[in-house]
Amino acid sequence: MEIKDFFKAVVDSDNAPVVVCDLQHTIIYMNPTAVERYKKRGGAELVGSSLLDCHNEKSNIMIKKVVEWFGKSAENNRIFTFRNDRENKDVYMIALRDGEGGLIGYYEKHEFRNPEISTRYNMD
């Protein structure tokens, strides 16, 4: 098994949607949670299309500004973009970099703030 298979398994097991884009804003991957969440907008059919087609002009301007900021420094890797009170989560844009620190793309990260309600190590 190749290491990329392990990374894909990590992303696919995340219960938050993960939509990965290249620097031209093309959606190159959606994890199963993202496919389900964005089913009404096309789900898996969105892969290969522009993320910018899924947002309004104001959001597109900010997405482009953030990607430009990511490109200015290898230190610019994470930025808070949105608070969703209804789902009790914060949303971030995260830079994706190659082994030399070059910017290769980005994704949106959802961090839910709800406390866990299951018991620790519950295997029932």
CA triple 42-39-4, angle to 5 deg: 85
Distance of CA 50 to the CA centre of its chain: 14
Q: Among 21-35, 44-58, 108-122, whose mean pLDDT is lowest?
A: 108-122
Is the pLDDT reported for residue 122 higher than 90? no
Report the distance separating Cα 96 and Cα 104, nearest Å: 6
Q: Is residue 8 part of a domain?
A: yes
Q: Is residue 10 part of a domain?
A: yes
Please say whether the beta carbons of 110 and 17 come within 8 A. Answer: yes
Closest CA to 91 of 77, 101, 105, 81: 81
Report the distance separating Cα 107 and Cα 10, nearest Å: 14
- For residue 60, what are the CA distances in angstroms to 5, 12, 43, 104? 31, 26, 20, 18
pTM, two decimal places: 0.90
Q: Band of the pLDDT at 118, cuts 50, 70, 90?
A: confident
* Domain at 43, CATH number: 3.30.450.20
- Domain membership of residue 51 as a residue range: 3-112
Q: Which two tokens stand for residue 50?
A: 């522009």
The pLDDT score that the predictor gives to residue 55 is: 94
**44-69: pLDDT as tens digits:** 999 999 999 999 999 999 999 999 99
Count of domains for the chain: 1
The mean of the pLDDT values for the chain is 95
